Amino acid sequence: MAARGDDRPRVLILDGFWNKALAAVRSLGRRGVFVGAGERTRLAPALFSRHCRRRFVYPSPTRRREDFLAALERELETGGYDVLMPMELATQLAVTDARERLERRARIPFADADRTRRVHDKGFLTAFARDHGIACPATVFPEGPERAAALAGDLSYPVLVKPCHSSGGRGIVRVERPADLAEAYARVHAAFPAPIVQECLPPGGEAVGVAVLMNFASEPRASFVYRRIREYPASGGPSTLRESIRDPELQTTAERLLSLLGWVGVAMVEFKVDPRDGQPTLLEVNPRFWGSLHHAIVCGVDFPWLLCRLAVDGDVEPQAGYRVGVRSRSLLHGDAMHFFATPGWWRLRPTLFDFSVPDDVLSAEDPLPILGRIASLAAFVSDRDLRAILRG
């Protein structure tokens, strides 16, 4: 970290293609933080923000990791940054794998890479949560197509074959009858080795997310609960319209789970209510910043700022309270697609053209990122890493 004449922190945010990176850039910039943003392409919304003071284009952190790390070291040194915030899991793992090397230049307030991989593993997480009394959907761990075939007759259908390492519903296959399980399992296993087989909860249960910030002693410092109203794909994907709620019991469950896991930094714990008994069940933990980060900030829980202060000061005071009943949405690449994929979409509320709902990208105060989002389509077409992330 470079010596400077002022004490305002300088933060470098990676993965500027994603709405959550834009949310972090805006949040920190409005607080007077010097914010730089990086991505594999200049055509990224966060890099178009008026709050982005420095822009950084870097090599792929997955296909060219050493080149990425070398470029990142140079940028951290040149920019004199205090804190480094990766937004996507692949980038976060590349950074935390090289923690000793990079923390000579900036603080990295995230869990270590091995712990992150374990928490992201749905098989490990389900077994761990069950062992600690946290309700999960009924799950078996076949570890191979032959064992899946042997278990097929013992399960209640429908079931889901779920990759242990994926996000946003990618790679999940629904199986309606025992005769189809072996083939479905083999298909998922070929792309995502050793998937789990999990009961498919009946429709009608609410999907609830609990966002949490844990300090370096794995103690909760901020939490935020919201429910999903619309998703894309509608069958199960990222939220496109959400609403803040209070659920002290789920909040406590999420905080307890992350504490037991020894977690540090931010995470999103996802639950779904089982309509048969009204009880929430744990689906997964996203061990990174989540897509609807802007929603928490709008409601009064500024996770990027709190994480920055945690990194710089060593801890933050526990945060209490946020606005409840507030909605936000992601119109482009989200809610608009949900509308047009839904029969009778013109009856949905809020409507497609209700701009009173805060949006993840659209902002009169910071209008240029919408051009970045449109321009990013060109980057998406040409960048196979971005396409791979969207495919899971």
| Annotated domain spans of the chain | 1-108+363-392, 138-199, 207-361
pLDDT per position as a tens digit, 244-264 = 999 999 999 999 999 999 999
Distance CA 377, CA 363 (A): 19
| Token pair listed for 302 | 């500024």
pLDDT of 236 reads 58
Amino acid identity at 180: D
Distance CA 310, CA 263 (A): 14
Backbone angles phi, psi at 319, to 5 degrees: -95, 140
Distance CA 72, CA 57 (A): 10
With cut-offs at 50, 70 and 90, classify the pLDDT of residue 384.
low
Least confident among 50-64, 74-88, 220-234, 270-284: 220-234
pLDDT per position as a tens digit, 38-58 = 999 999 999 999 999 999 999
pLDDT per position as a tens digit, 186-217 = 999 999 999 999 999 998 889 999 999 999 99
Average pLDDT over residues 160-186: 90
With cut-offs at 50, 70 and 90, classify the pLDDT of residue 351.
low
For domain 138-199, give the fold.
Dna Ligase; domain 1 (3.30.1490)
The percentage of residues in the chain with a pLDDT greater than 90, rounded to a whole number, is: 76
Distance CA 193, CA 145 (A): 10
CA angle 383, 389, 392 (to 5 degrees): 140
pLDDT of 334 reads 53
* Architecture of the domain whose range is 1-108+363-392: 3-Layer(aba) Sandwich (3.40)
C-alpha closest to that of 18 among 121, 75, 91: 91
The percentage of residues in the chain with a pLDDT greater than 70, rounded to a whole number, is: 85
Average pLDDT over residues 283-312: 97
Distance CA 384, CA 370 (A): 22
Is pLDDT above 50 for 338? no
Distance CA 87, CA 293 (A): 10
The region, left, alpha or beta by phi > 0 then psi within -120 to 50, assigned to residue 266 is beta
Is pLDDT above 70 for 70? yes
With cut-offs at 50, 70 and 90, classify the pLDDT of residue 3.
very low
Average pLDDT over residues 66-89: 98
pLDDT averaged over every residue in the chain: 89
pLDDT of 44 reads 94
Class of domain 207-361: alpha beta
Average pLDDT over residues 59-69: 96
Instruction: Report how far apart the first and last C-alpha atoms of the chain are (Å, whole number).
Output: 35
Is pLDDT above 70 for 359? yes
Average pLDDT over residues 133-159: 93
pLDDT of 2 reads 44
Is pLDDT above 90 for 362? no
Distance CA 212, CA 254 (A): 8
pLDDT of 229 reads 83
Distance CA 185, CA 364 (A): 48
Average pLDDT over residues 141-170: 89
Is pLDDT above 50 for 224? yes
In SS3 terms, the chain reads as CCCCCCCCCEEEECCCCCHHHHHHHHHHHHCCCEEEEEECCCCCHHHHCCCCCEEEECCCCCCCHHHHHHHHHHHHHHHCCCEEECCCHHHHHHHHHCHHHHCCCCECCCCCHHHHHHHHCHHHHHHHHHHCCCCCCCEECCCCHHHHHHHHHHCCCCEEEECCCCCCCCCCEEECCHHHHHHHHHHHHHHCCCCEEEECCCCCCCEEEEEEEECCCCCEEEEEEEEEEEECCCCCCCEEEEEEECCHHHHHHHHHHHHHCCCCEEEEEEEEEECCCCEEEEEEEECCCCCCHHHHHHHCCCHHHHHHHHHHHCCCCCCCCCCCCCEEECHHHHHHHHHHCCCCHHHCCCCCCCCCCCECCCCCCCCCHHHHHHHHHHHHHHCHHHHHHHHC
| Token pair listed for 118 | 């374990």
pLDDT of 339 reads 46
Class of residue 50 by CB neighbours under 10 A (exposed 0-12, middle 13-18, buried 19+): middle
C-alpha closest to that of 28 among 294, 325, 319, 381: 294
Distant-in-sequence, close-in-space partners of 16: CB < 8 Å, separation ≥ 6: 22, 25, 37, 38, 39, 44, 45, 46, 47, 52
pLDDT of 24 reads 99
pLDDT of 159 reads 96
Which residue did the predictor score with more confidence, 298 or 382?
298
pLDDT of 386 reads 58
Average pLDDT over residues 313-339: 80
Per the listing, tokens 């296959």 go with: 173
C-alpha closest to that of 223 among 251, 196, 199: 251
Distance CA 11, CA 253 (A): 31
